[in-house]
Structure 1
Amino acid sequence: EEKNGPPAKKGKIEKIEKKKEMECPLCTVDHKRKRRYTSVNALINHLRFNHRTTPAEAGIKFRCACGHTSACARHNSSGCSVVNFTVIHEKKMGVKCILCKTMMTSLSSYTAHLRTAHSTKIDKTGSHLLCSCGVKVVSEWTAKKHMMICDERQFRVQKVDED
């Protein structure tokens, strides 16, 4: 007697697709150990506690395999069955000034902003700028000099006590 459809195979287990690991882009910038996470919430908590920032401030977004892009972890609750994310680091977003909310996209524009808008220098704020190539910038002059020899445009503000 024939049944509807092919006979079921015994002992066959459905293959479950492994979740893609997401690398922290800020750990990659600092040349530290590259941290990897399989959940968006774990990566967001890592950003909050280890880098003292949020995904929006760091220019990080999460893109699901279904195409949805967001800076938060709320996509899971929308009913998507895929839930496999890729980290997108928007380099053009820039870095927010530590004294106001202005965003700058280069080392020299950041130091010039501090001088013109706040009448101060980077070393007087208790911090320095860290280029993605690993060079620390402590003044406007060194920022201009470094930008002449370095093609990297990604940087972040680092407190002096975080060295």
Structure 2
Amino acid sequence: MRFLDGETRAALDALAALDGGTAPSGRADAAAALERVRAVRRLLRALEAEPAVLAAVREARDGGADWAEVAEAAGLSEGAAKQRWAGDDAAIAERREASRKRKRERPSSRPSELPGLSVAEAAAKLGVTAQAIYLRVSRGQLASRTVELPDGRKYKRVFPDGDAPED
């Protein structure tokens, strides 16, 4: 496969070198397994950035293949294939950078430093269901408050051991 980039070729060769040996037992087995995981992930990252894929897509498109055929060959939706490979190098690079920028700016899915407990955490601590927590809050048996983050996300926080602190 001479069309592969040097980085991809090196990652493929490193993975192939790990293939076929008999695995030792115990801690050495775990270390060998983790090295295989690392090698597979390195190869996947290299393949994802492989210039030969873009070259092949452009060759297929120049040869008359439509985006649906390219998408099917790549295992993607037609829209995803266009997003990844349509346009010249500058347009593709611009889309990738815009995507990276959005990912950097996107908040984590779950904030880690909120006061009190989440409804699920409170339910687990008290050995009841989440619905029971909401019922106790509505009856005034549990203190709670809604915390709003600067980005607009809101979280219900429960304080089973006492009053909710003021904002």
TM-score by length of 1: 0.28
Greater radius of gyration (CA):
2
Answer 1 or 2: which has greater helix percent: 2
TM-score by length of 2: 0.28
